[in-house]
């Protein structure tokens, strides 16, 4: 795969990543539902520190906490509010790019989904996708 690039809705936050994704997943947790304003979030996990933001990109971080009590840092554009990346303290070594911000989404194919116990009943993901009631592990 070539370099990953993306931006927020207003294009004031632009990023790139040269690392291969370590995972692509669907998260049905209630916090992701609230952050995205829809039924789930599609995320792309890359090694922490591998996302490079343009120098004029300005992000705000909101920290909430997962079921484990550990921090989830949700970074979003100061201007338009687009969610860009999350850092889940319990997912050591990963930054989670919000897939809706990718410039090229054609390659996305989630291989796992989690928090299926809070998935909306009308959302159907391919049965071949690895599923977890809560966090994998």
What's the burial of 65, exposed, middle or buried (CB within 10 Å: 0-12/13-18/19+)?
exposed
All structural domains of the chain with their residue ranges: 4-131
Rg of the chain over Cα atoms, rounded to whole angstroms, equals 14
Q: Do strands 112-114 and 130-131 pair parallel, antiparallel, or not at all (unpaired)?
A: parallel
Architecture of domain 4-131: Beta Complex (2.170)
Residue 135 has pLDDT above 60, yes or no: yes
Residue 114 has pLDDT above 70, yes or no: yes
- What angle (nearest 5°) sits at the alpha carbon of residue 8, between those of residues 88 and 100? 65
The 10s digit of each residue's pLDDT in 6-42 is 999 999 999 999 999 999 999 999 999 999 999 999 9
- Sheet with 4-7: strands ordered across: 4-7, 14-17, 51-53
Residue 122 has pLDDT above 60, yes or no: yes
State if pTM tops 0.85.
yes
Q: Do strands 14-17 and 4-7 pair parallel, antiparallel, or not at all (unpaired)?
A: antiparallel
Task: List the one residue out of 102, 50, 58 whose CA is nearest residue 76.
Answer: 58
What's the burial of 6, exposed, middle or buried (CB within 10 Å: 0-12/13-18/19+)?
buried
């Amino acid at each position: 795969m070539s370099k990953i690039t993306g931006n927020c809705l207003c294009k004031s936050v632009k990023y790139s990543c040269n690392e291969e994704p370590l995972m692509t997943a669907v998260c049905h947790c209630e916090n992701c539902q609230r952050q995205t304003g829809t039924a789930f979030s599609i995320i792309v996990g890359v090694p922490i520190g591998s996302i490079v933001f343009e120098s004029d990109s300005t992000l705000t971080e909101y920290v909430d906490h997962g079921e484990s009590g550990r921090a989830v840092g949700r970074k979003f554009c100061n201007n338009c509010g687009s969610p860009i990346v999350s850092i889940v303290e319990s997912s050591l070594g990963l930054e989670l790019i919000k897939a809706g911000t990718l410039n090229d989404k054609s390659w996305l194919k989630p291989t796992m989904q989690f928090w299926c116990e809070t998935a909306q009943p009308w959302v159907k993901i391919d049965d071949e996708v690895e599923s977890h009631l809560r966090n994998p592990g």
